[in-house]
Amino acid sequence: MQRLYRKRIVLGVGGGIAAYKSAELVRRLLDQGAEVRVVMTRGGAEFITPLTMQALSGHPVHLDLLDPAAEAAMGHIELAKWADLVLIAPATADLIARLAQGLANDLLTTLVLATDATVALAPAMNQAMWRDPATQANLHLLQSRDMKVFGPAAGSQACGDIGLGRMLEATELAQCAADCFQRQSLTGKHVVITAGPTQENIDPVRYITNHSSGKMGFALAEAAVEAGARVTLISGPVHLPTPDRVQRIDVVSARDMLAACEAATPCDVFIASAAVADYRPEVVAPQKLKKDPTNGDGLLLQMVRNPDILATIATRPDRPFSVGFAAETEHLLDYAARKLKDKNLDLIVANDVANPSIGFNSEENAVSLIDRGLNTTVFTQTSKGKIARQIVSFIAQRLDQV
């Protein structure tokens, strides 16, 4: 399992001989699923080249505090906000001392001051430097500020001495980095979510659609990411920003959405919150339909059934844990229970869209969850974001029981 999946790690490389281990550390972090950006001190760049670290991380290495090109891309403040963890390896005695003083005289120390992320140090220095009271006092001060210290290990050193001061090996540091994050309920799971309406063309100008805003589906995507999942969000036409760390696929029609869902599977969880059109015009006019004076005031459209996306995914041989939505205006629980059975679902979320305070385009929702045993769990009215987190937590609990 990739315990660091989509975690954002800034790797700071100080000026010590142990910098050669930092190259291997990048690979081990990537193996655990992390996204890695490298910041090097000038001393670190003397021991291992920025080009090496760029090739391994797949991203430009950040070196200078006052670099116009870097600031135009991901400047130090953006980098500080981007990080989930700042891991400094090697952390030399000099770098530790500057951090303890709160200096901001290079890019790495400035970034540490600017970030709200966890900061961890992997000390690497001569054994006498490690034992020096000044170094120990600096470390105790940094630990009192909630910085983490990984290591050091004991053994032979580049100078020929033997003792504490060796930087931990890359595999050990990657494990320590993973331990900084609590294992989340959907860590390592792939969740596919549909959201919003679909549009079915009548002619090049007109189409059939519904009032779905996509807000519930987008909130579910955010909640699934918070729970550690890899999320694919397949959305009909909506005007919502893509949640952070979510792969978004935009579609228009029901058939487009089905194709995108089939391409995104297999997955672990499929949540169909989109309001998909049940029917589409049998024939789409190639040109805009004009009023027909011989046809009175009417227009007759022959409609045909759209494919059932949820039923198609839920009956696959490699079916995921399948969750449907029942947006109803009457007989809410009865209709939802019937849909659960007919579509072979594990769970269905029923909500009353006739209630304007929790219907389409509202900021809040209230839902009832029905499982295969027809047991009902009610989540009372609150924000769609909170409802989404409750639903995702409920799904994670059921996955643990499968």
CATH 3.40.50.1950 positions along the chain are: 8-179
Percent of all residues in the chain with a pLDDT value above 70, rounded to a whole number: 96
- The tokens for 341 are 């059975």
CA distance 100 to 97: 5
CATH topology for 8-179 is Rossmann fold (3.40.50)
Question: Averaged over 294-304, what is the pLDDT?
Answer: 79
For residue 265, report the phi and psi dihedrals to the nearest 5 degrees. -100, 155
**DSSP sequence for 16-77:** SGGGHHHHHHHHHHHHTT-EEEEEE-HHHHHHS-HHHHHHHHSSPPB--TT-HHHHHHH-HH
CA dihedral 356, 361, 365, 369 (to 10 degrees): 110
| Counts of helices then strands in the chain (DSSP H, E) | 15, 19
- The tokens for 93 are 């005695």
Burial environment of residue 54 by CB neighbours within 10 A (0 to 12, 13 to 18, 19 or more): middle
- Is the pLDDT assigned to residue 298 strictly greater than 80? no
- Is the pLDDT assigned to residue 136 strictly greater than 60? yes
Task: Give the tens place of pLDDT for each residue, 186-231.
Answer: 888 999 999 999 999 999 999 999 989 999 999 999 889 988 899 9
- The tokens for 260 are 């995108």
- Is the pLDDT assigned to residue 383 strictly greater than 90? no
Class of domain 190-286+300-401: alpha beta
- The tokens for 60 are 């430009």
Burial environment of residue 291 by CB neighbours within 10 A (0 to 12, 13 to 18, 19 or more): exposed
Question: Averaged over 83-99, what is the pLDDT?
Answer: 95
* Residue 159 annotated in active site: yes
For residue 201, report the phi and psi dihedrals to the nearest 5 degrees. -65, 140
**DSSP sequence for 126-163:** -HHHHHSHHHHHHHHHHHHTT-EE---EEEE-TTS-EE
Give the pLDDT band of residue 335 (cuts 50, 70, 90): very high
Q: What is the pLDDT of residue 156?
A: 77
Tokens 């130090």 belong to 76
CB-based contacts of 54, cutoff 8 Å, min separation 6: 38, 60, 61
Sheet holding 35-40, edge to edge: 35-40, 8-13, 85-91, 118-123, 148-149
Residue 294 has what DSSP assignment? Answer: G
Measured on CA atoms in the order 325, 329, 332, 338, is the torsion positive or negative? Answer: negative
Residue of 252, 309, 300, 249 whose CA lies nearest to 278: 309
Task: Give the tens place of pLDDT for each residue, 144-188.
Answer: 999 999 999 987 777 777 778 999 999 999 999 988 876 678 888
Give the pLDDT band of residue 272 (cuts 50, 70, 90): very high
- The tokens for 280 are 């589409």
CA distance 324 to 285: 33
**DSSP sequence for 218-269:** HHHHHHHHHTT-EEEEEE-S---PPPTTEEEEE--SHHHHHHHHHHH-S-SE
Task: Give the tens place of pLDDT for each residue, 107-132.
Answer: 999 999 999 889 999 999 999 999 99
Residue of 328, 327, 334, 78 whose CA lies nearest to 215: 327
Q: What is the pLDDT of residue 84?
A: 87
Given the residues 159, 180, 261, 267, the one annotated as active site: 159
Question: Averaged over 89-106, what is the pLDDT?
Answer: 95
- The tokens for 211 are 């009032």
- Is the pLDDT assigned to residue 74 strictly greater than 70? no
CA distance 196 to 214: 4
pTM attached to this predicted model: 0.66
Q: Are strands 376-383 and 230-235 parallel, antiparallel or unpaired?
A: unpaired
For residue 350, report the phi and psi dihedrals to the nearest 5 degrees. -105, 130
CA distance 130 to 143: 15
Cα dist from 94 to 12, 118, 140, 160, whole Å: 14, 21, 15, 20
CATH 3.40.50.10300 positions along the chain are: 190-286+300-401
